[in-house]
Structure 1
Amino acid sequence: MSDRTGEAQTLAPSAALSVETVVRVHHWNEHLFSFAITRPASFRFRSGEFVMIGLPDGQRPLLRAYSIASPAYAEELDFLSIKVPDGPLTSRLQKIQPGDPLFLGRKPTGTLVADALLPGKRLFLLSTGTGLAPFLSVARDPDIYDMFDEIVLVHSVRRVSDLAFRDELEARLAEDPLVGEVAAEKLRYLPTVTREPFHTQGRIGALIDDGTLFAGGPGFDAATDRIMMCGSMDMIRDFAARFDALGFEEGSNAKPGAYVIERAFVG
């Protein structure tokens, strides 16, 4: 490990962790970055799952859960992260460069998966900040387009520069060889900014209340609409209560429902 991460040692794999290499790093602004690492040949995951990522910390690895942002068929694994100046892991992780080694957990898991949802017609992917990450994976999953007639991906951020992967979702997704054609027909990407001028402004709740979220279609229907949420704990708590009141039931891998959140991130 280089001096950039404060370590001068070679990482060793274990039964729970493999050692992967950073392939690329992109800094979106002073608060946000993404990175890609090599993918072990044996590593399998479902779109929307998370995995442990880490660096050495003395005798033990320092690990945190990160949603996988790449599609399940990708040769590399993408992640999206905030930069926390005094964060035990992110203060070091934000300094990684291509060629650096990282720990990768061998067992991805999570509840932001299609298996935890009942069949439906519309799928709403509601995200704030880095909560976009699992939906970057879901939106590039060919199977999700077989399950739903319409998919709405909402990304709410404070500033325009926080709209990570905006170009990917607005333009380059159409070039994807597996989902490009069907995504152009079924996926609606709705970025919104709360603290700077932008063509769509306001929090997700406001977009629901004024109908922007539905683009002229009907409001939420618990019988046919399905929802995934990832982002701030306040957002998830507020919307979980809202959807509960509308008759939506939370789903899990054991019992599919009408909406899902990532329990590992919100407690």
Structure 2
Amino acid sequence: MTDVTTEKPALEPTGALSVETVLSVKHWNEHLFSFRITRPASFRFRSGEFVMIGLKGDNGKPLLRAYSVASPSWDEEIEFLSIKVQDGPLTSKLQLIQPGDQIYLGRKPTGTLVTDALLPGKRLFMLSTGTGLAPFLSLSRDPDVYEFYEQVVIVHSVRRVSDLAFRDDLEAKWAEDPLVSEQAPGQFHYVPTVTREPFEGNTQRIDALVESGALFAGIPGAAKFDPETDRIMMCGSMEMIKQFAAYFEGAGFTEGSNAAPGQFVIERAFVG
């Protein structure tokens, strides 16, 4: 009897895509995972940007989706955070990747969740749900962010405790990080909230935490958002982003872009 081993077909680079190698994969639970890939020497990006990644589709052509880069711009590897969708065209395949596998990486990162799209301020609040945490992982490990802002805050709302990806690193305020471990203990704040399971911390949605003032506990400054001092980034569910975009506009904040910096930004590529 012949032992037949099925090898995955090699990917071919294109003008828009390089072919990289998966270095490691971490499954946080049954519907959330992160993975690291090689970084080509020519790949440059700003912390907070997104890029197209993918695999070969059933038709033999690249099957691509936009993913925020979760690693900081100085990292020698590139990390991503993804959900698992069983019938998703890409994620149904992507969740099966293993170290050594090949993956497509776009050559041109872009995006608005960058400090260039914000006016100077004192506090940076990054509001996220689910995998919307990814760009803020990148930004919170960028030393420039700690030069631009006195306080750097990640708010992460999830349904279950196991959805709090990178929780240990965030609670430790990036203590092991080679570039921000000195600034982060005094400037970085992590505000997780779990809405569908018992949790020793916050258990309300972000809007309720804002209304009660609980979101600002332990953070120097006012227990409310102030357009004079606060800058906001949002990434995650459409419901959260649209709700807070309207909230901030009503509170006197202006939306920023790379061309015209403002007081809050969202990633429109993911909102539609």
Give me the TM-score of the superposition, normalised by structure 2. 0.94
Partner Cα distance (2:105, 2:8) in 1: 19
- Conserved 8 A contact 2:193-2:203: yes
Whichever residue aligns with residue 237 of structure 1, its letter is: K
What SS is found at the alignment partner of 2:182?
Answer: helix
Q: Specify every segment of 5 or more residues in structure 1 that has no aligned partner in the other structure, as ranges.
A: none
- Tell me the residue number matched to 1:130: 131
Indicate which of 242, 257, 263 corresponds to 2:262: 257
- Conserved 8 A contact 2:51-2:67: yes
- Tell me the residue number matched to 1:205: 207
What SS is found at the alignment partner of 1:173?
Answer: coil
Q: Specify every segment of 5 or more residues in structure 2 that has no aligned partner in the other structure, as ranges.
A: none
- Once the 2 structures are TM-superposed, how far is the Cα of residue 172 of structure 1 from its aligned partner? 6.4
Partner Cα distance (1:177, 1:60) in 2: 39
Asked whether 1:101 is paired with 2:89, we answer no
**Residues 64-143 of structure 1 correspond to what in structure 2 (within 5 A)?**
64-143=65-144
What SS is found at the alignment partner of 1:27?
Answer: strand
Partner Cα distance (1:152, 1:50) in 2: 20
Cα deviations by residue, 1:51-103 (Å, 9 ceiling, x for unpaired): 00100112310000000000111111000000000000000000000000000
- Tell me the residue number matched to 2:49: 49
**Residues 1-267 of structure 1 correspond to what in structure 2 (within 5 A)?**
8-57=8-57, 58-171=59-172, 173-198=174-199, 199-215=201-217, 217-218=221-222, 219-267=224-272
1:67 to 1:45, Cα distance in 2 relative to 1, 3 A: same
Across the aligned residues of Structure 1 and Structure 2, the Cα RMSD in angstroms comes to 1.2
Q: Percent identity?
A: 71
Partner Cα distance (2:60, 2:33) in 1: 27
Higher helix fraction: Structure 1 or Structure 2? 1
Any runs of at least 4 consecutive aligned residues in structure 1 with deviations exceeding 6 A, and if so which?
Answer: none
What SS is found at the alignment partner of 2:183?
Answer: helix
Partner Cα distance (2:68, 2:178) in 1: 23
What SS is found at the alignment partner of 1:190?
Answer: strand
What SS is found at the alignment partner of 1:134?
Answer: helix
